[in-house]
Structure 1
Amino acid sequence: MTGELEGREKWLWIYRTGLHGQCPRCGEGRMFRRWLKVSEHCEVCGLDYDFAAPDDGPAFFSLCFVAFPLLFLVVWFEVAANPPWWVHLFTSLPLMIVPCLLVLHPIKGWLVASQYVNKAQEAGTDALWAGLNARAKGKAASESDA
């Protein structure tokens, strides 16, 4: 499906599949087997998720676009109301933590879908990634035989 997408359609496909945690190839299978754990492959089309390496991207975007703006609200609350520390414990702390955790899953899905659709990887690393993945799969196979 993704081979013929260009421009706005490509962006909408990444957005829809990534934010909903669907397979970026077929749009039907699930990308995640647990909350932030990417599946090994799509159960519908068989896409191998070895390419998926969002690393610290979800945490970075969560902090930049969610935590940083909320920090202004928490500081304003402190300056305007000057509450005791325990009030911050029950208001500010959950206000900072919960939204940051809630957006991690959609952001990670969006990054994995973007990597697949845009065929993103570092330049000149094809052979290195192929060797690393072959070694990791060989090691996993030998451990399961033992």
Structure 2
Amino acid sequence: MEEHVFGGAAATAKEPARPVLQAMWRGFNGRCPHCGKGKLFYRFLKVADHCSECGEEFHHHRADDLPAYLVIVIVGHITVGGLLSLERVTNWSLWTHIAIWIPITIAMAVALINPIKGAVVGLQWALRMHGFGGEDKNELEKGYGDQ
């Protein structure tokens, strides 16, 4: 018996459950969402083709622009909230705020992009999205053409 799960992938009752939060946490920490030991990235933002420990394949992930959008939302809320709060309680010039907030914004964005991308790849793995469910490659390509 087949049931449909988030992402359009079909999972059978025989397949073991993949804990979503654990997979995302492992990805957030730059580790393989399956075993938690191997490295997920081989360079900054470059996902490895497979796990060096358990052999899980990552080459078919499709994180695309979601990590960047999430980082923009997170950093934007923190930066704007901090800027407006500090502006309310201080009388600093515009240049002082620029000198403070632009480096903070850049540092937060660079610090968050890799962990957020890892969490997205972990989410895709846990939900068996984009080839992480062991589907036949021809079936996946046929399914994308129907859209």
| TM-score > 0.5, shorter chain as reference | yes
**Structure with the higher strand share, 1 or 2:** 2
Code of the aligned partner of 1:4: P
> Are 1:111 and 2:125 matched, yes or no?
no
Normalising by structure 2, what TM-score?
Answer: 0.71
Match of 1:77 in 2: 86
**2: distance between equivalents of 1:125 and 1:103?**
35
**Structure with the higher helix share, 1 or 2:** 1
Structure 1 gaps, min length 5: 131-146
Aligned residues: 124
| Contact 1:36–1:105 (8 Å) recurs in 2 | yes
**1: distance between equivalents of 2:105 and 2:124?**
28
Deviant stretches of 4+, over 6 Å: none
Cα-to-partner distance string for 1:60-84 (whole Å, 9 max, x where unaligned): 1111123223212213333543422
Code of the aligned partner of 1:98: A
RMSD across aligned C-alpha pairs, in angstroms? 2.7
SS at the partner of 2:69?
A: helix
Structure 2 gaps, min length 5: 1-14, 132-137
Code of the aligned partner of 1:89: I
Match of 1:38 in 2: 47
Trace 1:1-146 onto structure 2 (pairs within 5 A): 3-5=15-17, 10-121=19-130, 126-128=140-142
Normalising by structure 1, what TM-score?
Answer: 0.71
**Cα distance, 1:87 vs. partner?**
1.1
**2: distance between equivalents of 1:128 and 1:90?**
52
Sequence identity (%): 27
